[in-house]
Structure 1
Amino acid sequence: MLTFKLAQRFSERRSRSGLFAFIASSSTVGIVLGCAVLIASLSMMNGFQNVLEQKLLKAVPHVSFTKVEGTFDNWQSMVDIAKRDSRVIEAYPVIKQTAMLRSGDQFKGIVLEGIAAAGPHPSVTEFFSSGALSALETPNTIVLGQGIANSYGVEVGDTLELLVADQSSQQFRSPQRHGLKVVGLFEFGGELDHQMGYVSLDTARLIGEIEQGVSAIELKVSDVFQAPRIANSVGNQLPELVYVDHWMRTQGHLYRDIELVRTVIYLVLVLVMAVACFNIVSTLVMTVTKKRPQIAMLKTMGLDNRRVVATFCWQGTLSGLKGAVWGSILGIALASALPDIILLFERLLHFQVLSDDVYFVSEVPSQWRWFDVVLVSSVAVVMSAVATLYPAWRATQIEPAQALHEHH
């Protein structure tokens, strides 16, 4: 391990001074900061993807079948056909319609969704306030999005007026009015809180003037990324003509955006590390220049070019390794504290990074993974090792006799 010990000796702080010490330190600091920022950035993308897969996909249907005309009167048989597919976890009936909500002199357009309070219902009910689902069994009741409630000063127990277009005639007529009592709130933590209201199937039929049946059948599937394939497979088995939809069509742009940003971060990773490693090149070139007499002396004592190269490779790699270790520790700490740090800045500066009426989530999520930490660290170390090649080659070009003569 002669080359390793020589690399350590060349790297000792006491052998450096002034500008040389600053450049040597900045190379390590650059790698530390690069690793930390990239790990935190990748953790943020992991957080967004996790919220999309684990939270948003509970609030939106994985697959949806809507009848081309009219309603599904025999919806139970449609549910049975869908559940024959082993990839389908649950199938449930819904009635969707748009309406205008009136509170005092304020109006708000919402998507009204009728669900079976007692039977199979969507996972979105996990975000209902306590007791809200069972309370929906009472006629003319509604579970309202928390964002709508906050915006219009509505509380549980209030009665709202719902305006719905008259479906019975093609002519322009005044909308039908329905009084609905708020029995609970729905809080997802994103734009859905400002869009949705939930009622029972019976209430939805009354509002939409539907005698029986439902307007759509929705599915929850085991593998969300197989949703398009499952949608087509089940849709082809249904006896009625339907519109087929799935979450990749309605919310897929979010997933594609996250993957695009992650790819860009991987490209930035290589570029940032390349820039950080330029300082290693500068440090080692200066080391070669400063240590010419010592290198010449070592070569006269029998140190061959291969070991000279190995010495400088060790020196650059050790610098990269030190930066990668400290950068990983700082990156993990930053990623873990990122949501709290952003929340603190939001409170201090009185602004919201992600507005919950615009984005699908209102808080910046973060979830660090060992894969990202190892990947970023490995790239840092490998780039550091690559950065040593030119200075190491310069060291092999030193002629011992000439270098020692110049020194004297």
Structure 2
Amino acid sequence: MTDSVHTAAPLPPQRDPDRPFDPPEALREAHEHGPISRYRFPDGHDGWLVTGYELVRSVLADSRFSSRRELMRHHPMIDYGDIEVPPAPPGEFLLMDEPRHSRYRKPLAGKFTVRRMRLLSDRVEEITTEHLNAMEKTGPPVDLVEAFAKPIPAIVICELLGVPYEDRASFQDNVEKFLNGETDEDALTAAYTATQQYLDHLIQAKRADPTDDVLSDLTDTDLTDEELRGVGLVLLAAGLDTTANMLALGTYALLRHPEQLALLRAQPDLTDKAVEELLRYLTVAKTFLRTAVEDVELGDQTIKAGSAVIASFHAANRDPARFPDPDTLDLQRKAVGHVAFGHGIHQCLGQQLARIEMRVAFPALVNRFPTLRLAAEEIELRPEVADVYGVKRLPVAW
């Protein structure tokens, strides 16, 4: 370790409302000093912050940087004290390393192929049209989060899991409470417990009477009920919150960049590029933590075993060495290779589904309402401590 390495400023609990789409200034300043910086965690642990595109990909692809939950004792913005963190429950494979990780991911891989996800496109179009019709019938103003961005991925994930229609409202409400990053501890525990209990009930129902859904398919594997519950929770977290926030924050970004919005309306064949650029530019799943399980040479630094490492996806996607003029939203950019879905063995399993939802929803929304505009001067942002970034509400009119 060299003495000249930069020490990054603490990451803020809230993003600058005047620059809602840009990484916090602490990330920008750190990257100006190089792709890797020291970072002092709130609990006093001296770890690392990685902001360079190539080094972030290196961390995510290197098995010497662990994802195991029991090693995640530090948080970039919160002091958890001396709490003991238990291993991830069975099935929650995002917080596991190999070989446990593959036990759960492999049975799912065939359920989220590009071909199978494309078959869902017609259904996504139906759901999107239903919500646009409801918005038009209600009339402006509406909160786009509640009327459009949240229900589309929620319905899709409920149908993938086979949640009956009559159960969806309460199910989605509980999931929202434990994912939004702002629920108080008692309410969060209650919502999480209720979701677990409901998944237990649903798994039993699928074992007794399978239907055409992912959860029913998984009951035909050797996974236990407890493991299936954990897998279900991962699918909920990965498939609902991220896409909902991309739809809302992406619409906000388009409305704040009217020249780009006009391009999307005028050039339908630009949609695929536009989705990739919005993913890169916004990067709602913004940072992930890893822990070195042995000494690792990273860049020009030695990361000691036991050190926590923050891999900043957002900073990596704004690295000018990989994406020229990175702070500009350019829907004509070829934003291939971005890390908005991660990289390595934990790269987002549902990325193709998320792409389909965005490719359908964005053009459908902006073309249905050509005069769509913000209906509030200030838009309240999600806190940085939330795992997924976005807006709380997005009032729009037309």
Q: Report the structure, 1 or 2, having the larger helix content.
A: 1
TM-score, length-normalised on structure 1?
A: 0.23
Higher radius of gyration, 1 or 2: 1
TM-score, length-normalised on structure 2?
A: 0.24
